[in-house]
Amino acid sequence: MKKVADILQRKGANVISILPETTVIEALELMAAKNIGSVLVMRGDLYYGLLTERDYARKVILKGKHSSDTKVEEIMSKGLPRITPDNSIEVCMHLMSENNIRYLPVFENDNICGIISINDVVKDRTVDQGLLTDYVSWTEAYATYSGDSRALSQEDWAIVNGNRNFNRPGKADILNTLMRKIYPDLKYRIQQAVD
């Protein structure tokens, strides 16, 4: 099971932050320059909150405020759920969904060490689905050319899905089934196929 640490390692743990008294326009300019959708609000090592594009849209534009005279501390998101590098990606997805948020601050020993975005989670899942697609393709090819009845027969798929309907599933059904029920064994099977 993938962890937050895996995402931080892939994207790097470079933490970009601004001071609470920074104007919103300055924060937006930094976010545009760095091509990021959120920025940590900090003073030294002390975490105050997170400024997101959504905060700007809802708390400046919709309220008729001006980004040049509004301070970040007035509109930043506070009290977001905290995660650690040891949390699973599934925990992140659950927290984001339950709290209707797109960013989670990552803390290790009460020190901020990064941000995980919904985009990071989607990228992680896309990579996994790419591996699963390769696995399905390899398994189907193996079954076709080897005649091995153990390789993903219609009956196997029906059993894995918990029903006896032997209709051949579509690719999306296959990927969903793999993600749900076969993923824990996937790395082992891929390694066996490579060896």
Q: Tell me the pLDDT tens digit for each residue of 81-126.
A: 999 999 998 899 899 989 999 999 999 998 999 999 888 888 776 6
β-pair partners for 23: 71
Six-digit token string for 136: 């399905």
HEC letters along 145-167: HHCCCCCCCHHHHHHHCCCCCCC
The reported pTM is 0.64
Tokens 């659950």 appear where? 94
Q: Quote the CA–CA distance of 54 and 30 in Å, as a whole number.
A: 16
- SS3 state at 21: coil
Q: Would you say residue 194 has pLDDT above 80? A: no
Tokens 């984001």 appear where? 96
Give the model's pLDDT for residue 176.
Answer: 54
Q: Would you say residue 136 has pLDDT above 70? A: no
Q: Would you say residue 21 has pLDDT above 70? A: yes
Residue 193's nearest CA partner among 142, 152, 128, 149 is 142
Give the model's pLDDT for residue 154.
Answer: 52
Domain ranges of the chain: 4-121, 122-194
Q: Quote the CA–CA distance of 185 and 1 in Å, as a whole number.
A: 10
Q: Quote the CA–CA distance of 105 and 178 in Å, as a whole number.
A: 30
β-pair partners for 105: 115
Question: Where residue 166 falls among pLDDT bands split at 50, 70, 90?
Answer: very low
Instruction: Report yes or no: 54 and 101 within 8 Å, Cβ to Cβ.
Output: no
Give the model's pLDDT for residue 150.
Answer: 47
Q: List CB contacts of 40: < 8 A, sequence separation 6 or more.
A: 15, 16, 17, 18, 47, 49, 50, 105, 112, 115
Average pLDDT of the chain to the nearest whole number: 77
4-121: CATH number: 3.10.580.10
Of the listed ranges 45-49, 96-100, 112-116, 180-184, the one predicted with least confidence: 180-184
Tokens 């193996």 appear where? 142
